[in-house]
A and B are shown apart, each in its own frame.
Chain A
Amino acid sequence: MARPRAADVLGRVTLVTGPEEFLAERTVRTVIDAVRTADAEADVTQVDGAELGSGAFSELTSPSLFSTSRVVVVRQVQDAPEEPVAGLLRYAESPDDDLALVVVHPGGQKGRGVVDKLRKIGVVEVKSETPKQYELPRFVTAEVQAEGGSIGEEAAAALVDAIGPDLRALSAAGGQLTHDSGGEPITVDVVRRYFGGRAEVKSFAVADAAIGGDPARSLEQLRWAMGNGVAPVLMTSAFASGLRALARYVSAPRGLKDNDLAREVGVPPWKLRTLRTQARGWSQTGLAAAIKAVARADAEVKGAADDADHALERMVLAVTGARTTR
């Protein structure tokens, strides 16, 4: 929702839905700000659905002696008892011109009935969906621009890598960088200076890097993952399943259609492209050696060796080393 004006929200019901709490909160904030800008004296009441007693709703929406415009925010509407909900729906049919009502529903099945009825009445709905992983850099860019700064695509991606998918943290970091950079565009170097490290490294990223033949990157990611508390067992199982798919791929019959090939190999079709790239540079002997190394490492992290981290590092090196074995 672009920045609304008071006229956009007063006399309306704004329904905020979706699981992303940070975005929902922000929407609520913009409504309150819009009304406050127009009328600094505006009365703002915020309640949780569970707190609504009988008659509470009409009390909330009745005119006030002290201010003309008012904002009422009902959060967690799914917890509200029946009676106030009925009052809410009646109100939504004929809203008051001096009142902005915001109803927040965090998604899920509970309270779906109220949401559907409100939709039918035709209230303004703002959805706060959790952005997909690939949308996160765009989110960072928008945040920084909103703060009056600018950030390159690469730098935004680096920031996401470093912080992870938590929107609140991303937004705060974007704001901080904008203020500290003093108007200069935020570069990758700046991001690195403030936010070293990686928030989350999946075991599959480590395996993919190793199978793709990049020992340095794989080892780096491995260290991050271990530092973040990924269980060593997950690491060996990611390697095992990666190599297993590759082993099936390289000895699958030639000339199959993609869908049949995917079934033969036992992976989803989109994975075939990765496998095709990875398969270059792997011989059968090399793969066999790699799988055996992973089996050894699996035994080691389960107690056959003293140091699981060392066992995993050796495994990464063994796998990347086996890749060139012809």
Chain B
Amino acid sequence: MTVENPPVGRQGVWADLVGQEPIVAVLSMAVDTASAALAGDPSVTGMSHAWLFTGPPGSGRSNAARAYAAALECERGGCGECSECRTTLAGSHPDVTLVRTEQLSIKVDEVRELVRKAAMSPTGRRWQVLVVEDADRLTEQAADALLKSVEEPAARTIWLLCAPTIEDVVPTIRSRCRMLSLRTPPPGAVAAVLTERDGVPEDVATFAARASQGHIGRARALAADEATRSRRRDVLALPSRLHDIGACVMAAAQLIEAADEEAAAIADRLDPAERAGLEQALGVGTRGVRVRGAAASLKELADQHKTRRKRFQRDALDRSLTDLMSFYRDVLMLQTGSGVVLVNEEVRRDVEAMAHRESAENTLRRIEAILECREALEGNVAPLLAVESLMLDLARPE
């Protein structure tokens, strides 16, 4: 039996992968192999049962993993139109499990459940696909629980793990997976997607693609939302304001406050609805028998909301640090005379002023300081204190 394949390219389930042509080629080939294996072709060898998708934030790791999952489930190798493709992409296909977290980490209990599932045969005719979209957030125990299953999954099970870099996953997992690295999509490709698919005016699309440095989700947010753009402007104004210690401390406070606000805006939209949903499910406010453990479940949800809010705060702060980094990147580009396009064309005056005033060594020290601040935040240093220290370093690098 031969399977008819549509031509590989930017169509079908692959349409969402912006600027990732080499990856699409590799995955399409893998889909062919998988189909041949299903058809019972004895010449097929080297079918990979575990994949690790890596790539910078916004390059579309999880999209690539989903697209691959859809193509595996699809009779036509990823047409993007049949119900298999559509349900997989929407996250409701019975044989495709998507694991992502809005918490700070993926816990071992969750993974054990997943491993149990991995041992079963698919309900459909093709593959059981397990996608861990935040493999970098697996706790150490959770990763250990995965090992066995990732090494030798059941015959029709395929694991797809996603992480920003291979260093984010423990070596034991890494060595059991086939690696696939996505690249940062070129700004032109991002801008094209924004104009073609979202109908964004061309100048805004170009700005958003440039400012987001290839992060598609971020580019969409910048193109769509004025508040996001204004927050970014505020961040970019910071470097020229750090003239004394008070200004540094104020700037840090402002940055943290902005991150808190941004997080609160998202959380305040999500939390009440989820809480109301759970309350309704538990029958709070109705007469009749009380569900046992209702208060405990509500408390658990409240705790989850709290950690999620913290995660949102960290993500928001992280985005600000990325923007800040892009400013000093631009300064360095001018100082070294590399002639590369500036990320922050709109604050060129500030960038030029700093490039003339300061030495390239100091710019590198500042970039180093931002990286150190990231590390400190990861180590749970009080965010305000870490950012204060960063601002002081930016004002006067040693």
Interface residues of A (CB under 8 A from B): 236-237, 240, 244, 247-248, 250-252, 284-285, 287-288, 291-292, 294-296, 298-299, 302-304
> Of B54-62, B326-334, B374-382, which binds chain A?
B374-382
* Count, A-B residue pairs, CB within 8 A: 64
- Per-position 1/0 for B207-250, Cβ under 8 A of A: 00000000000000000000000000000000000001111111
Task: Assess the A240–B246 pair: CB atoms within 8 A.
Answer: no
Task: Assess the A247–B376 pair: CB atoms within 8 A.
Answer: no
- CB-defined contacts of B95 to chain A, threshold 8 Å: none
Task: Assess the B245–A295 pair: CB atoms within 8 A.
Answer: no
Task: Assess the A298–B381 pair: CB atoms within 8 A.
Answer: yes
- CB-defined contacts of A288 to chain B, threshold 8 Å: 245, 248, 392, 395-396
Tell me how far the C-beta of B138 lies from the nearest C-beta in chain A, rounded to whole angstroms. Answer: 19
CB of B267 within 8 Å of the partner chain: no
- CB-defined contacts of A244 to chain B, threshold 8 Å: 249, 384, 388
A285 CA to B392 CA, complexed, in Å: 10
Cross-chain pairs A/B with CB under 8 angstroms, 29 sampled? A240-B384, A240-B388, A244-B249, A244-B388, A247-B248, A247-B249, A248-B246, A248-B250, A251-B245, A252-B246, A284-B245, A287-B245, A288-B392, A288-B395, A291-B388, A291-B389, A291-B392, A292-B393, A294-B385, A295-B381, A295-B385, A296-B389, A298-B381, A298-B385, A299-B381, A299-B386, A302-B379, A302-B380, A303-B380
Nearest B residue to A289 via CB reads B392
B382 contacts which of A284, A285, A292, A298 (Cβ < 8 Å)?
A298
- CB-defined contacts of B388 to chain A, threshold 8 Å: 240, 244, 291, 295
> Which residues of B257-310 have CB atoms within 8 Å of chain A's CB atoms?
none
A18 CA to B46 CA, complexed, in Å: 80
With A237-B382, A288-B396 known to touch, is A248 a contact of B376 (CB < 8 Å)? no
> Which residues of B357-398 have CB atoms within 8 Å of chain A's CB atoms?
376, 379-382, 384-386, 388-389, 392-393, 395-396
18 new A-B contacts, CB < 8 A, other than A240-B384, A244-B249, A287-B245, are A236-B385, A237-B385, A240-B382, A247-B245, A247-B248, A250-B246, A252-B246, A288-B395, A288-B396, A291-B389, A294-B385, A295-B389, A298-B376, A298-B385, A298-B386, A299-B386, A302-B381, A303-B379
Task: Assess the B389–A284 pair: CB atoms within 8 A.
Answer: no
- CB-defined contacts of B385 to chain A, threshold 8 Å: 236-237, 240, 291, 294-295, 298
- CB-defined contacts of A303 to chain B, threshold 8 Å: 379-380
Tell me how far the C-beta of B92 lies from the nearest C-beta in chain A, rounded to whole angstroms. Answer: 41
A299 contacts which of B376, B384, B392 (Cβ < 8 Å)?
B376
A236 CA to B376 CA, complexed, in Å: 14
- CB-defined contacts of B395 to chain A, threshold 8 Å: 288
A284 CA to B395 CA, complexed, in Å: 12
- Top-8 shortest CB links A-B: A251-B246, A295-B389, A288-B392, A284-B245, A247-B249, A240-B385, A251-B244, A298-B381
Which of A247, A250, A302 has the most chain B CB atoms inside 10 A of its CB? A247
Tell me how far the C-beta of A38 lies from the nearest C-beta in chain B, rounded to whole angstroms. Answer: 57
Task: Assess the A284–B386 pair: CB atoms within 8 A.
Answer: no
Which of B249, B250, B386, B395 has the most chain A CB atoms inside 10 A of its CB? B249
Nearest A residue to B392 via CB reads A288
- CB-defined contacts of A237 to chain B, threshold 8 Å: 382, 385
Task: Assess the B376–A292 pair: CB atoms within 8 A.
Answer: no
- CB-defined contacts of A296 to chain B, threshold 8 Å: 389
Task: Assess the A250–B245 pair: CB atoms within 8 A.
Answer: yes
Task: Assess the A247–B246 pair: CB atoms within 8 A.
Answer: yes
- CB-defined contacts of A299 to chain B, threshold 8 Å: 376, 379, 381, 386
Nearest B residue to A265 via CB reads B246
Tell me how far the C-beta of B391 lies from the nearest C-beta in chain A, rounded to whole angstroms. Answer: 9
Task: Assess the B247–A251 pair: CB atoms within 8 A.
Answer: yes
Tell me how far the C-beta of B374 lies from the nearest C-beta in chain A, rounded to whole angstroms. Answer: 12
A250 CA to B244 CA, complexed, in Å: 10
A299 CA to B390 CA, complexed, in Å: 13
- CB-defined contacts of B384 to chain A, threshold 8 Å: 240, 244
A86 CA to B84 CA, complexed, in Å: 77
A252 CA to B249 CA, complexed, in Å: 11
Nearest B residue to A294 via CB reads B385
A299 CA to B379 CA, complexed, in Å: 6
With A240-B385, A244-B388, A247-B249 known to touch, is A284 a contact of B380 (CB < 8 Å)? no
Tell me how far the C-beta of A316 lies from the nearest C-beta in chain B, rounded to whole angstroms. Answer: 16
- CB-defined contacts of A287 to chain B, threshold 8 Å: 245
A154 CA to B388 CA, complexed, in Å: 41
Tell me how far the C-beta of B212 lies from the nearest C-beta in chain A, rounded to whole angstroms. Answer: 29
A246 CA to B259 CA, complexed, in Å: 24
Task: Assess the A248–B249 pair: CB atoms within 8 A.
Answer: yes
A131 CA to B245 CA, complexed, in Å: 41
Which of B376, B380, B385, B396 has the most chain A CB atoms inside 10 A of its CB? B385
A178 CA to B230 CA, complexed, in Å: 71
Tell me how far the C-beta of B362 lies from the nearest C-beta in chain A, rounded to whole angstroms. Answer: 15
- CB-defined contacts of B386 to chain A, threshold 8 Å: 295, 298-299
Tell me how far the C-beta of B134 lies from the nearest C-beta in chain A, rounded to whole angstroms. Answer: 22
A296 CA to B375 CA, complexed, in Å: 11
- CB-defined contacts of B246 to chain A, threshold 8 Å: 247-248, 250-252
Tell me how far the C-beta of B365 lies from the nearest C-beta in chain A, rounded to whole angstroms. Answer: 13
Tell me how far the C-beta of A168 lies from the nearest C-beta in chain B, rounded to whole angstroms. Answer: 37
- CB-defined contacts of B396 to chain A, threshold 8 Å: 285, 288
A299 CA to B375 CA, complexed, in Å: 9
With A299-B381, A303-B379, A304-B379 known to touch, is A292 a contact of B389 (CB < 8 Å)? yes
- CB-defined contacts of B393 to chain A, threshold 8 Å: 292
- CB-defined contacts of B382 to chain A, threshold 8 Å: 236-237, 240, 298
Tell me how far the C-beta of B257 lies from the nearest C-beta in chain A, rounded to whole angstroms. Answer: 12
A316 CA to B396 CA, complexed, in Å: 23
- CB-defined contacts of A291 to chain B, threshold 8 Å: 385, 388-389, 392
A296 CA to B392 CA, complexed, in Å: 13
Tell me how far the C-beta of A207 lies from the nearest C-beta in chain B, rounded to whole angstroms. Answer: 13
